Amino acid sequence: MEYNLSLRHTRYVALLNSLSIKNYALIDRLEVSFSKGFTVITGETGAGKSILLGGLSLVLGKRADLSSLRNKSLKCVVEAQFGVGAYGLQSFFAENDLDYEEMTIVRREISPSGKSRAFINDSPVTLNVLAQLGNRLIDVHSQHQTLQLTETDFQLKVIDALAGNGDLLSSYRSQLLTYQKITKELEEMRRLRQHALKEHDYNSFLLKELEAAPLQLGIQEELEAQYEQLSNVETILEQLSTAHQLLNDEQQGVLNLLSQVKQYAAKLSSFGNQFMDLNNRIQSVFIETDDIASELWALHEQMEANPVLLDEVNAKLQLLYDLQKKHGALGIPELIDIRENLAQKVGIADNIDTDILKKEEELQTAEKVLQQTAGDLGRRRNKVVPQLQAQLEESLISLGIPNASFSIELETASSFKHNGKDELSFLFSANKGSAYGELKKVASGGELSRIMLTIKSVLAKYEHLPTLMFDEIDTGVSGEISNRMGDIMNEMSQSMQIFSITHIPQVASKGDYHFKVYKEDKDGATHTLMKKLSSEERVVELAEMLGGKTLSDSAMAHARELLN
């Protein structure tokens, strides 16, 4: 059965607009739309209210169970639409590379093979991302889910909401990140200093050794060529002398023969251009050969055995070879890089104390700023503690805990925390003369639920909360107290969307909208269905909740009275 109820508002903080469930547990197909305000959901025990919550939990990021598929051959699909326009989630969508839509659609699919897929605005996402978004959209609360109430972070969040500490907390967390960054940098510098000092002497020795070596690009090739000349000087002189003699021999020398050729060519040059060109070429060859002969002689005269220079060149080369072997370098360029790296290490060791001193001063400044902000947070928190105590105690009187008393104290911690520098003591006593104790130790489940409801109602006055869904938190309380609980939920719904799954007619009568979950046998199978009740159907439902299936005139009258 399908219902598409018109929405009264299109922009609302984390508003659950619609929910569609297909092939889940006892649900074949369910499509329902919701509005802002206070929605109550009722139904007999076992009708399937938990199934509805289970389906919703899938789009909030909870893990899937293959056994939840009604028809094992078809996939299960749960889809919900949320109005998130006023909730400031643009950064979340940007960080996760998602398309931001004020009407955001979240979908979960479970295939018959057990494979689960999640989507936000049709973009595939991990279950972790889905859960992060789900936590910001709906807060499902039951008597069995009160652990959050006993956590210090949540308790401080309540105090900060009353104190209006949002901007101050943002500043503190930004300053804390700076402080932690500087602290980490200082620790790294100290570690580096310790390591650098250990190796400083050895690195200095290696650096001096490299700085003393002739490390210039191309020097090795130059020295190797010089070494080759000096170590083969006799052979070179002999070759130069022989070559010079072949060119300058008076009888058969190349220059003498070329001189004769030149004379013949000169005589031919007057017989045409072709002979003139030939003469010019022979003239050029003669000049070039004569120049070569002169250079051969000049080189011969310059060359001489120089064992002292040979030893010097050999020593430089050997030094370069030894350094390359020592440092595992393939050539001079790598040795130059090693030298520069060593110079940097030695320089760091020489200057590290000055750098550490500067960083310590930077940390002291950051700590002073952080200390000031943490102090401001603490003072503002302490200022609203009496107000919170009074509000909680006053509200709990009307919820059947007349002697409720809180002892809330803040003390300065020794270290900075993610939300300030305060140690919180949040103690409770439900009876006169009873000692104060931690909530989780001294408060019953019913008391914790009422305390949580009271705290959520306080929070709703000071900050945007996600849609709240209360799952039978009114179980076991009297009609008068449940009536007050319903009033509180109704008051909260003036600024946010509230759901209450309830067995209590007094609570159900407070809703702006009333849905009933029920079972129906059809075609040999049981189905869970859900429908929105009309005004007259609400009267009947409340009367049955009051007096059972047999409707009496008094139950009907009582139901009408509750609704009015």
Q: Are both 223 and 342 inside the same structural domain?
A: yes
Residue 129 located in a structural domain: yes
The pLDDT of residue 150 is above 80? no
**Extended beta strands in 418-453, E state:** 420-429, 437-438
Residue pair 159/422 in contact (Cβ under 8 Å)? The answer is no
Q: Are both 284 and 198 inside the same structural domain?
A: yes
Q: Bridge partners of 252?
A: none
Better-predicted residue by pLDDT, 14 or 83: 83
Q: Using DSSP, state whether 518 is helix, strand or coil.
A: strand
The domain that contains 109 carries what CATH number? Answer: 3.40.50.300
Q: Are both 9 and 95 inside the same structural domain?
A: yes
Q: How many degrees, rounded to 5, is the angle at CA 340 between CA 227 and CA 359? A: 170
Better-predicted residue by pLDDT, 347 or 121: 121
Question: In one letter, which amino acid is 515?
Answer: F
Q: Are both 204 and 121 inside the same structural domain?
A: no
pTM of this structure: 0.66
Mean pLDDT of 209-220: 81
| Across 201-205, 328-332, 411-415, least confident range | 201-205
Residue pair 400/478 in contact (Cβ under 8 Å)? The answer is yes
Domain end marker among 325, 350, 375: 350
Q: Are both 109 and 8 inside the same structural domain?
A: yes
Residue among 421, 343, 313, 428 at smallest CA distance from 376: 421
Specify the pLDDT at position 515: 95
Q: Are both 312 and 198 inside the same structural domain?
A: yes
Mean pLDDT of 270-282: 84
Better-predicted residue by pLDDT, 195 or 55: 55
Residue 439 located in a structural domain: no
d(CA 445, CA 70): 34
Q: Are both 236 and 131 inside the same structural domain?
A: no
Residue 407 located in a structural domain: no
Helix, strand, coil % in the chain, rounded to nearest 5: 55, 20, 25
The pLDDT of residue 5 is above 50? no
Q: Bridge partners of 513?
A: 39
Q: Are both 129 and 226 inside the same structural domain?
A: no
Better-predicted residue by pLDDT, 166 or 265: 166
Residue 561 located in a structural domain: no
Domain holding 503, by residue range, is: 1-143+464-533
Q: Provide the number of structural domains found in the chain.
A: 2
Specify the pLDDT at position 2: 34
Specify the pLDDT at position 151: 82
Residue 417 located in a structural domain: no
